[in-house]
Homo-oligomer: A and B are copies of this chain.
Amino acid sequence: MDTWLLSRMQELKDLQGLIGLATWDQETYLPSKAGPARAQQLSTLQGLHHERLVDPRLGEALSKASTAPGLTEDEQAMVAVLQREREREVRVPAALVRALAEAQSHGLHAWREARKERRFARFQPALQRLLSLRREQADAYGHDGERYDALLEGYEPGMRVSRLTPVLTALREQLVPMVGKLTGTGKRPRPVFDGRRFDKDAQWRFTLKLLEDIGFDLEAGRQDLSIHPFTGGTHALDVRLTTHVDESNPLSAIFSTIHEAGHGLFEQGFAPELHRTPLAASPSMGLHESQSRLWENQVGRGWPFWEHYFPLLRDSFPEALKGVDLEDFLAVVNEVRPSLIRTESDEVTYNLHIAVRYELELLLLRDALPLDDVPAAWNERMERYLGVTPPDDTQGVLQDIHWAWGELGYFPTYSLGNLYAASLYRVAGRELPDLDAQLRQGKMLSLRDWLRERVHRHGFRLPAEERMRVVTGQGLTDADFLAHLHTKYGALYGVTL
Interface residues of A (CB under 8 A from B): 10-11, 14-15, 17-18, 21-22, 25, 29-34, 37-38, 40-41, 44-45, 47-48, 217-222, 224, 234-235, 237-239, 275-276
Contact: B37 with A222, CB < 8 Å?
A: no
Nearest neighbor of A30 in chain B, beta-carbon distance = B238
4 more contacts with CB within 8 A, not counting A21-B21, A31-B218, A37-B238, are: A21-B41, A29-B29, A34-B220, A34-B234
Contact: B237 with A33, CB < 8 Å?
A: yes
Nearest neighbor of A52 in chain B, beta-carbon distance = B48
Contact: B22 with A41, CB < 8 Å?
A: no
Contact: A234 with B11, CB < 8 Å?
A: no
| CB of A255 to closest CB in B, whole Å | 24
Tell which of B29, B40, B220 touches A33, judged by Cβ atoms closer than 8 Å: B220
Contact: A44 with B11, CB < 8 Å?
A: yes
| CB of A64 to closest CB in B, whole Å | 23
Task: Provide 17 A-B residue pairs closer than 8 Å at the C-beta atoms, listed in order of the A residue.
Answer: A10-B44, A11-B44, A11-B47, A17-B37, A17-B41, A21-B21, A21-B22, A21-B25, A29-B222, A31-B218, A32-B219, A37-B238, A37-B275, A38-B234, A38-B235, A40-B276, A48-B48
* Most chain B beta-carbon contacts within 10 A, residue among A25, A47, A224: A25
Contact: A15 with B44, CB < 8 Å?
A: yes
Q: A37-B235, A235-B37 known; A18 and B45 CB under 8 Å?
A: yes
Name the B residues within 8 Å of A15 (CB-CB).
44
Tell which of B14, B31, B41, B217 touches A14, judged by Cβ atoms closer than 8 Å: B41
Contact: B222 with A33, CB < 8 Å?
A: no
| CB of A39 to closest CB in B, whole Å | 10
Tell which of B33, B41, B237 touches A18, judged by Cβ atoms closer than 8 Å: B41
Name the B residues within 8 Å of A21 (CB-CB).
21-22, 25, 41
* Most chain B beta-carbon contacts within 10 A, residue among A11, A29, A31, A32: A31
Name the B residues within 8 Å of A10 (CB-CB).
40, 44
Name the B residues within 8 Å of A47 (CB-CB).
11
Tell which of B41, B220, B275 touches A31, judged by Cβ atoms closer than 8 Å: B220
Name the B residues within 8 Å of A222 (CB-CB).
29, 31
Measured in the bound complex, the distance between the Cα atoms of B18 and A22 in whole Å is 8
Measured in the bound complex, the distance between the Cα atoms of B89 and A337 in whole Å is 65
Measured in the bound complex, the distance between the Cα atoms of B33 and A219 in whole Å is 6
Name the B residues within 8 Å of A31 (CB-CB).
218-222, 237-239
Nearest neighbor of A29 in chain B, beta-carbon distance = B222
Q: A31-B219, A34-B220, A222-B29 known; A14 and B237 CB under 8 Å?
A: no
Measured in the bound complex, the distance between the Cα atoms of B222 and A41 in whole Å is 18
Measured in the bound complex, the distance between the Cα atoms of B37 and A234 in whole Å is 8
| CB of A29 to closest CB in B, whole Å | 6
Tell which of B34, B38, B234 touches A41, judged by Cβ atoms closer than 8 Å: B234
Measured in the bound complex, the distance between the Cα atoms of B31 and A217 in whole Å is 9
The 3 closest A-B pairs by CB, nearest first: A34-B238, A14-B44, A37-B235
Measured in the bound complex, the distance between the Cα atoms of B217 and A41 in whole Å is 21
Q: A15-B44, A40-B10 known; A235 and B34 CB under 8 Å?
A: yes
| CB of A497 to closest CB in B, whole Å | 44
Measured in the bound complex, the distance between the Cα atoms of B380 and A101 in whole Å is 65
Contact: B29 with A14, CB < 8 Å?
A: no
* Most chain B beta-carbon contacts within 10 A, residue among A14, A21, A22: A14
Contact: A237 with B11, CB < 8 Å?
A: no
| CB of A127 to closest CB in B, whole Å | 31
Name the B residues within 8 Å of A33 (CB-CB).
217, 219-220, 237-238
Measured in the bound complex, the distance between the Cα atoms of B234 and A238 in whole Å is 20
